[in-house]
Amino acid sequence: MSYSQRGKSWVTYPKANPEAKLRLFCFHYAGGGAVSFRSWWDDLPSKVEVCPIELPGRSFRLQETPFTQIEPLIEALAPVVLPNLTKPFAFFGHSLGALVSFELARVLRKEYNRSPLHLFVSGHRAPQLPDRHPPIHALPDSEFLEVLRRYNGTPEAILENAELMELLLPTLRADFSVVETYSYKPEAPLDCPITAFGGLEDWKANALDLEPWREQTNSAFSLEMFPGDHFFIHSAQTLVLERLSQLLHQIVETPSQELVQEMKPLY
């Protein structure tokens, strides 16, 4: 697959859409990458440009050291995303990506006076809630892999491939470390609406974990539940994208000054 990269390779544009009214920046889960959203641009509204984020330590950034804590990750990510905010934008993040997109939205508000029109958070408990499960990023390999199996997001053939897992484990551990060392710091709620997506059989983030995302916005909140476990965004992808398309269509068709006028470049 051919990607054009902007923002020092953090932001990818798999299918550039100059006529788009809205950019949807997509933030992947632990062990994932921009390719996790590889089919989304064909199933979302034509007025939306899908822009997956590629964190260091995977795909064409495999030789780069992955982050292990969220503060330096957001500190590095914010200034390279900023030049891409020349159109109205929204964020979608799943699991690790939900946490990253949320903290990025807070930094963009605080340091650059920019805000997404909508924040879609998926498969991750509300950030103010403590994790109900023990950390796994420092477990011995065999125990770490057993927990990965429970997530049901990595094919067994890959888990049993020792050579491949030796390559993937450092990034997986780093990604889990970002989540598991996260410490929530109270701030004012965001002004943009938040929609939380969840899997009905997700042991990691159930409806009770997702509902308190409501506290993180001064605007509208909704909770959308889908069949499936933690990786319902793949197993129930058709349903997820149908609902996401409906919500994005409402955003781009809502008259607002931001959607009428192109946002000025910041660089």
The Cα 112–Cα 69 span in angstroms is 22
Cα–Cα separations (whole angstroms), residue 145 to 40, 82, 155, 183, 204:
29, 36, 11, 25, 16
Which two tokens mark 73?
Answer: 């990750």
The pair of structure tokens assigned to 42 is 């064909």
8 A C-beta contact, residue 216 and residue 187 = no
Spatial separation of the C-alpha atoms in residues 77 and 79, rounded to whole Å = 6
List all residues 6 or more positions away from 74 whose beta carbon is below 8 Å from its beta carbon.
Answer: 100, 103, 104, 107
Closest CA to 230 of 211, 260, 204: 204
**Region label for 228, one of left (φ > 0), alpha (ψ between -120 and 50) or beta (otherwise):** left
The catalytic position among 95, 122, 177, 235 is: 95
Q: Are 227 and 199 in contact (CB under 8 A)?
A: yes
- The verdict on whether 9 is a catalytic residue reads no
Catalytic residues: 95
